[in-house]
Structure 1
Amino acid sequence: MIAELRSASVDPLWHGIDLAVEPGEFIAVLGPNGVGKSTLLGTMMGTRKLTGGSVSVRGRVGFIPQQHMFPKDLPVRGRDLVSLAMGRRARPEDVDKQLASVGAKAFADRRAGLLSGGQQQLIRQAQAFSQDPELLLCDEPLLSLDPGRARDTVQRLHEHPAAVVCVTHSINPVLGVVDRVLYIGPEGHVVGSVGEVMRSDVLSELYGTRVDVVEVDGRMVIL
């Protein structure tokens, strides 16, 4: 076990979450805006306190934060940010390898604030992976990425030996790699496999109103 929440609560957002994250597991965190998905990651990082229960995390943690654009006048390059994340003794060739692993080497010598949103997301990926993490916490890591880059990112997360807890607005991009889903709704939460959670009766109970889950061309749609 790499992380565990027991009867965890952050009132008034959510309460009573029990979740044990196993090494190598991929957990998708879903739910509407405002239910506290990002807050959940904050409790696992130790930047947000619980109001009840407990959380424990073992091992190195990598974090891909929710997208906020770097200031345009930030006087550092993309590679400088990755080098800082790797530590003062990082060798240039190691930084290059890290950048290349996420497809960011071609633009790494540009000022970070002048990069596009998608390019900045790849720099953040390189920073997170540079920690040699055993647990990756990802807050909407696919934002601003084109479909190809998004698929590459999902595959990268899946192939990394770290456990992954990924907040995402849709199950579809990670449908092929996710092991379990934590769905947080206005009326509670549920943890289980995709088949156990992404059902009309389950989500209707979490929302407190009728919700339909349908499959269209291999994609799940919540109505």
Structure 2
Amino acid sequence: MNLLTLSDVTVRAGGSLILDRISLSIDPGEIVTIVGPNGSGKTTLMRTILGAMPVSGGTITTRPGLTIGYVPQKLPLDGSLPLTVARFLALPHRHSPKKIAGALKLAGLPDIGDRQLSALSGGQMQRALLARALLSEPDLLILDEPTTGLDQQGEAGFYRRIEMVRDKRGCAVLMVSHDLHVVMAASDRVICLNGHVCCHGTPASVASAPEYRALFGHGTGGALALYRHDHDHEHHGHSHSHD
């Protein structure tokens, strides 16, 4: 059974049509990425799936007992607030130190629980937010443009971490991203959104689709090669081709 299914979901806001008859599904264990230009409704779609925005038409069906972990784009914090990473992860629900340490390790931040949250870099903060989402042991992990502000190497590293989380936990992943280049290689399926579903399928099929190219052009190939080269190098100690 699908974890999540949207059937002809339509969303209006202030009299404007934001999402027009969106149909999609997420299967257990797959990584699905939503891409689209600014104003295409990506964040609205995430908010609708999370129940923060009402649908004007259509239906959203979830598997009974579905647990969702959410990683926001950023977290506004008072920089002067004295809060350690471990304490932050224990809010609002307490978790054992062992569970917190395990989530931090899986997110790529081992031995950082005693550090002040305000002292984290942008990349470390995103991994702390990932660790927080993992504490709920989600069936579905939802991330809204999680690498905003990171450089290309940081983006690629974060997406590799997401793949690792999926492989270790078996959770499905739904991401919204503007990072067309590196994100494509991290996904099992890509859905191109522009108020409606323009095209969807494997990364390769979407990258070559006329609807995708009409929106984004042809400029993803080189960075896809960079991601794959780095990915091969990291996992196998050497690189293969830059295909």
Q: By the TM > 0.5 criterion, same fold?
A: yes
- Out of 43, 46, 51, which is 2:48 matched to? 43
The residue matched to 1:16 in structure 2 has which SS? strand
Determine if the alignment matches structure 1 residue 156 to structure 2 residue 164: yes
Deviation at 1:203, TM superposition (A): 2.5
Task: Compare 59-68 and 143-152 and name the one that shifted more.
Answer: 143-152
Q: Distance in 2 between matches of 1:32 and 1:213?
A: 14
Task: Quickly say closer, same or farther: Cα 1:119–1:204, change in 2 above 3 A.
Answer: closer
> What residue in structure 2 maps to residue 99 of structure 1?
104
Q: Distance in 2 between matches of 1:26 and 1:143?
A: 19
Task: Quickly say closer, same or farther: Cα 1:69–1:116, change in 2 above 3 A.
Answer: farther
Task: Compare 99-108 and 124-133 and name the one that shifted more.
Answer: 99-108
TM-score by length of 2: 0.78
Gap runs ≥5 in structure 1: none
The residue matched to 2:40 in structure 1 has which SS? coil
Alignment of 1:62-77 (within 5 A): 62-77=69-84
Counterpart residue type for residue 132 of structure 1: E
> What residue in structure 1 maps to residue 199 of structure 2?
190
User: After TM superposition, what 4+ stretches of structure 1 lie above 4 angstroms from structure 2?
Assistant: none
Deviation at 1:143, TM superposition (A): 3.0
Alignment of 1:169-188 (within 5 A): 169-185=178-194
> What residue in structure 1 maps to residue 38 of structure 2?
33
> What residue in structure 2 maps to residue 127 of structure 1?
132
Contact 2:5 2:26 in 1 (8 A): yes
Gap runs ≥5 in structure 2: 226-243
Deviation at 1:96, TM superposition (A): 1.6
Task: Quickly say closer, same or farther: Cα 1:217–1:115, change in 2 above 3 A.
Answer: closer
Task: Compare 47-56 and 150-159 and name the one that shifted more.
Answer: 150-159
> What residue in structure 2 maps to residue 6 of structure 1?
7
TM-score by length of 1: 0.84
Query: Which has the larger helix fraction?
Result: 2
- Out of 24, 29, 41, which is 1:24 matched to? 29
Deviation at 1:79, TM superposition (A): 0.9
> What residue in structure 1 maps to residue 122 of structure 2?
117
Task: Quickly say closer, same or farther: Cα 1:45–1:215, change in 2 above 3 A.
Answer: closer
Counterpart residue type for residue 75 of structure 2: H
The residue matched to 1:213 in structure 2 has which SS? coil
Deviation at 1:144, TM superposition (A): 4.1
Q: Distance in 1 between matches of 2:220 and 2:185?
A: 14
**Could you tell me the percent identity over the aligned residues?**
28
